[in-house]
């Protein structure tokens, strides 16, 4: 009779906002999931959320400040165009 100690790594990580655990054998590198992975998940970078929220706030402020419908539409179109090209450049550099 023998008592055998097996080297195992217990890993904790996050997938799509859910905590998951896995055991990895330090002998043959096999991995065993202890918690099931979420079936579907959306990971949203905070930077992207901040971009869209900032854009929305700018529109709300401009919308409240400009009373004339035509002028507001022109202002929105200009902001939209500028935001589109600047966000595009920023995200392309980031991606």
Partner 1 sequence: MAEQQTVTISCPQCASPFSFREGDRNARCPSCGTSLAISGEAGISRFWIEERIDLAQARANARRAVAAAGGDPDVVERLRFEGGELCFLPFWRLRGHAAGWLWTERETVTREEEYDENGMKTVREVRGPNQCATESVMVAVDYSSPACDVSRFGLRGIAVAGAVLPLRGMDFVLVSGRGTVFDPVKDPDEVRREAVAQARARGGGNGVIRSTGRFSLCGERLALISYPVWSLTFARDERLYPVTVDGVNGRVLAGRLPGSTRLTLLRPLLTVTLLVFAFTLHQLLGAAVAVGFLGWLAANGGLSPERLAGWFFALVERQREVELG
Minimum CB distance to partner 1, residue 83 (Å): 6
CA triplet 23, 32, 1: central angle to 5 degrees? 70
- Residue 71 interacting with partner 1 (CB under 8 A): no
Minimum CB distance to partner 1, residue 36 (Å): 18
Contact characters 27-66, partner 1, x per CB under 8 A: xxxx---------xxx-x---xx-xx--xx--xx--xx--
């Amino acid at each position: 009779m023998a008592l055998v100690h097996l080297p195992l790594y217990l890993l904790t990580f996050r997938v799509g906002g859910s905590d998951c655990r896995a055991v990895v054998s330090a002998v043959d590198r096999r991995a065993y999931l202890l918690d099931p992975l979420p079936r579907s998940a959306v990971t949203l970078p905070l930077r992207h959320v901040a971009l869209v929220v900032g854009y929305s706030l700018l529109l709300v402020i401009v919308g409240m400040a400009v009373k004339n419908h035509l002028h507001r539409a022109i202002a929105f179109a200009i902001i939209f165009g500028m935001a589109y090209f600047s966000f595009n450049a920023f995200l392309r550099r980031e991606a």
